[in-house]
Amino acid sequence: MIDAAELVDNDFLRQFELKMDDHFAKIEYSLQERKIFLTKLIVPEALDNDQFKNDFLKLVFENIEERNLSVVPTSPYIAKFIRRNRQYKRLLPVGVRI
């Protein structure tokens, strides 16, 4: 399902974007030094399910890891995702606990 979609980092609007069919999901962020603050997850109602959100977040976290950035989740859903997927805890900056 999500494999055919392409993740776009729109640095002008400071958001990761994913277009599926006619639907558009995004994660807004703020980039400061080598930390990326994930502030808001916005998913259209047609795609609003845990499987889609988790797949979307995995794509975003892979992108962040490739760029060698630390993640600071300020969105409750994204923080919960990190708690459930412990492999991404290594991306948290020193001193940040989830």
Burial class (CB in 10 A: 0-12, 13-18, 19+), 36: buried
Report the C-alpha gap between 88 and 25 in whole angstroms.
21
Domain boundaries, the chain: 2-91
Give the C-alpha separation, 70 to 96, whole Å. Answer: 10
Cα torsion through 16, 75, 35, 20, rounded to 10: -10
Task: For residues 93-97, give the mean pLDDT.
Answer: 84
State the pLDDT at residue 20.
85
| Each residue's pLDDT tens digit, 44-78 | 998 889 999 999 999 999 999 999 999 999 999 99
Query: What pLDDT, on the 0 to 100 scale, is given for residue 76?
Result: 93
Residue 71: its H or E element:
strand 70-73
Predicted confidence at residue 5, as pLDDT, reads 72
The residue that leads in pLDDT, 72 or 3, is 72
What is the rounded average pLDDT of the residues 2-6? 69
CATH annotation of 2-91: 3.40.630.30
Position 22 scores a pLDDT of: 87
Tell me the pLDDT tens digit for each residue of 5-39: 789 999 999 999 999 888 899 999 999 999 999 99
What string of DSSP letters covers 2-67? GGGS-EEEETTTTEEEEEETTEEEEEEEEEETTEEEEEEEE--GGG-SHHHHHHHHHHHHHHHHHT
